[in-house]
Structure 1
Amino acid sequence: MAQAFIRIRKVCVAALLTVTLATGGQAEELAVVGTGDGIEMLQALATAYNAEPGETRIAVPPSIGSGGAVAAVGGERQKLGRVARPLTEAEKAQGLVEVPLVRIPSAIFVHRDAGVTGLTSDQVAGIFSGRIENWNAVGGPDLRIRVVRREETDSTLAVLRASMPGWRDLVLTTRSKTATTTQDAVETVRQTPGAIGFGPFSPALAGTMTVLAIDGHAPRDPGYPSAVTLALIYKAATRDAASAAFLAFATSERAGRLLAERGGAPLKP
């Protein structure tokens, strides 16, 4: 009688465990919040990570900017962030740590109606300053140039100012649309004839737009003048096993191959 009871109890426990795993044992979600730069790359890493068995599922939500990542992780509302600019000394003093992942070229892209495939750096500066207003001035059709810019705190704009010839003190034309995220900039240029914008390079950009060569160099050429570094950030006080596991994966050789396939140059941690 006792043995039969033990067998029945084992069966019930096993059944309960099966139901728990099937319904209530869902993986915990760990969001990596922040910049829109390189978002497709990080989504690819998340997909690969989530395909393996584990207790944590990685999510890469829409952009809230590098500053949003610093505020969320620094304020201990999130455990992992993504940034496209270096942390300041003040941010590091708050306990924030950055882990550089990949170098991403800063692409200049145009609507296909612009009719050009390359510009000189002087022509690019002329367009974004408003000095050049029609595509026919640079070899394109008689079509008004529509500039799509980013806010001054944008990481790609900061990189362009630091590295692209003629951009350090460039005053961007007031006759322009300000995009609030990378995705907004891409979609605006994609949908607007005559439009030009900038953002982190991704091979996917070439699908429906033209990514310009600058001074004869394509974005992935060694001589291309401008790139941004995408990094993950965490706060030492809130780093846990789940965030440490994803950080280890994101800096692995496998992750490096995924990043390279999507147009980036992986960096060793």
Structure 2
Amino acid sequence: MPSFVKSALAVLAVVSTLVSPPTPSAAETLRINGTGAGLVALRPLVAAFEKENRGVVVDMEKSLGSSAAIKALSRNALDLAVSGRPLKPAESAEGLVQQQWGRAPFAVLANRQVRVTGVSLNELAGMYGTSSARWPGGELVRVVLRPNEDVDTKLTRSMSPEMDRGMSAAQTRKDMLLGITDDEAFELVKKTEGAVAVMALSLPLSQPNAVAVLKLGGVQPSVANVASGKYRFVKEMHLVTRKDASSTVARFIKFLDSKKGRAIAAKHGVLVTGVK
């Protein structure tokens, strides 16, 4: 091959490397998990954040629950955990920090075949306290419980002294349904005739018309009613990170606290109270 041809080909090769688009670098992954009620509210927020941050991919698998996600975070298997409870002292001692995200209405959910629009707190306590309770349509009430140490159980007990006693009675019965996680409990309400449970509103909002959301004491559980003080039963949501959290984690948390982030969260069941 003539030398001038070799030279021309060499120059062409160099030029092609200069004008060719660079190979895209691998996207940064942000690993998030936690309570099911928090994750369903985060999903639309994640979609909006990824749209604005093309170099970031959020990995959010099936819910581990608050405690398991916090443990995974402490072992560097996650970058952020959304928790339905505050950190325990031992968890803080492992270098974890928490920020309050917001409050979700803690709502009474029933199987969609139940033909009532609301219950009173005393009526709800009676459903928990006896095995013979029936809905007005005749269906046997099937209470869906959570583990005794779960935050939802504690929140349900705190609704009133009667609910506390009703919960104690329900936990002694052998006919109770038990959902270990938010997702499991929600699925039990969906598929079980006469089922009832108290859970964060973000879950039914993520699957419209899957269950019935009941008024409690005549008040509809909603973010607006929580904000106004009309509805007083809430589940707090916390964001948990390591002390050495990356700038990407900080950017995501800042997005959650933005005007856009607050609006999306409110639409999906979380009143953002301020990331602080």
| TM-score normalized by the length of structure 2 | 0.85
Whole-angstrom distance in 2 between the partners of 1:71 and 1:252: 28
Listed as ranges, the gaps of 5+ residues in structure 2 are none
Match in the other structure for 2:215: 213
User: Relative to 1, partners in 2 of residues 1:39 and 1:79: Cα closer, same or farther, differing over 3 Å?
Assistant: closer
Match in the other structure for 1:97: 97
CA deviation after TM superposition for structure 1 residue 27, in Å:
1.5
Conserved? CA contact 1:205–1:211, under 8 Å: no
Match in the other structure for 1:227: 234
- How many percent identity over aligned positions? 25
Secondary structure, counterpart of 1:212 in structure 2 = strand
CA deviation after TM superposition for structure 1 residue 225, in Å:
3.3
Whole-angstrom distance in 2 between the partners of 1:32 and 1:165: 36
Whole-angstrom distance in 2 between the partners of 1:206 and 1:53: 29
User: Relative to 1, partners in 2 of residues 1:245 and 1:134: Cα closer, same or farther, differing over 3 Å?
Assistant: same
Cα-to-partner distance string for 1:231-263 (whole Å, 9 max, x where unaligned): 2110113x1122222122122221111011123
Match in the other structure for 1:255: 261
Conserved? CA contact 2:33–2:39, under 8 Å: no
Say which of 135, 149, 153 aligns to 1:153: 149
User: Relative to 1, partners in 2 of residues 1:117 and 1:55: Cα closer, same or farther, differing over 3 Å?
Assistant: same
| TM-score normalized by the length of structure 1 | 0.87
Conserved? CA contact 1:35–1:63, under 8 Å: yes
CA deviation after TM superposition for structure 1 residue 163, in Å:
3.5
Conserved? CA contact 1:46–1:59, under 8 Å: no
Matches within 5 A, 1:186-197: 186-197=186-197
Conserved? CA contact 2:124–2:163, under 8 Å: no
User: Relative to 1, partners in 2 of residues 1:76 and 1:164: Cα closer, same or farther, differing over 3 Å?
Assistant: farther
Match in the other structure for 1:121: 121
Match in the other structure for 1:8: 13
Cα-to-partner distance string for 1:64-114 (whole Å, 9 max, x where unaligned): 111012111122222211101111233222221112212101111111322
Match in the other structure for 1:64: 64
Conserved? CA contact 1:164–1:226, under 8 Å: no
Conserved? CA contact 1:121–1:165, under 8 Å: no
Match in the other structure for 2:158: 162
Does 2:148 align with 1:141?
A: no
Whole-angstrom distance in 1 between the partners of 2:63 and 2:117: 29
Does 2:243 align with 1:241?
A: no
Whole-angstrom distance in 2 between the partners of 1:108 and 1:45: 25
CA deviation after TM superposition for structure 1 residue 48, in Å:
0.5
Does 2:58 align with 1:51?
A: no
Cα-to-partner distance string for 1:167-218 (whole Å, 9 max, x where unaligned): 3353124221101221222222112221112211033455132111111111
Conserved? CA contact 1:107–1:219, under 8 Å: yes
Question: How many residues matched?
Answer: 259
Whole-angstrom distance in 2 between the partners of 1:228 and 1:181: 15
Which structure has the bigger radius of gyration? 2
Match in the other structure for 2:110: 110
One-letter code aligned to 2:80: L
Matches within 5 A, 1:163-182: 163-169=159-165, 170-171=167-168, 172-173=170-171, 174=173, 175-182=175-182
Listed as ranges, the gaps of 5+ residues in structure 1 are none
Match in the other structure for 1:198: 198
